[in-house]
């Protein structure tokens, strides 16, 4: 997984690319989220357009990202969720906790 990021209207947008799996991916995403929190950015959108696959550990990373932000008074939203990930979110009922949007702009505006 590669991770790039930018900020727009006070919202941090993270763009992971590739597969989100366990191991180093968890550390990279955690560090990035903590970086955002330290800078005072509590609104984060993860753009999943370029994520082809995610396993259970990857899903765990998203969940822990969400809890981290919420515990600090922030919010994590998802955008460009692929069908595969959407079905994963549906099965696990995570759709009820993750707000998912069709585009990053919509996600940013929703804050």
- Least Å distance between CB 103 and another protein? 26
28 contact partners, CB below 8 Å, separation of at least 6 = 1, 3
Structure-block tokens of residue 20:
């989100």
Nearer to another protein, 24 or 96 (CB): 96
Q: 99 φ, ψ to 5°?
A: -85, 125
CB of 56 to another protein, least distance (A): 4
Q: Assign 45 to helix, strand or coil.
A: strand
Q: How far is the CB of 93 from another protein (least distance, A)?
A: 5
Q: Which helix (H) or strand (E) holds 48?
A: none
Measured from the CB atom, the residue of 65 and 101 that comes closer to another protein is: 65
The nearer residue to another protein, 3 or 63, going by C-beta atoms, is: 63
């Amino acid at each position: 997984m590669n991770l790039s990021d930018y900020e727009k209207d006070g919202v941090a947008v993270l763009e992971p690319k590739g597969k989100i799996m366990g191991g180093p991916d968890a550390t990279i995403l955690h560090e990035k989220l903590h970086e955002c929190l330290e800078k005072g950015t509590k609104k984060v959108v993860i753009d999943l357009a370029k994520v082809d696959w995610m396993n259970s550990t990857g899903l765990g990373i998203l969940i822990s990202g969400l809890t981290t932000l919420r515990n600090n008074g922030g919010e994590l939203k998802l955008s460009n969720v692929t069908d595969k990930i959407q079905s994963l979110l549906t099965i696990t009922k995570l759709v009820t906790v993750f707000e998912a949007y069709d585009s990053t702009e919509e996600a940013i505006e929703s804050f």
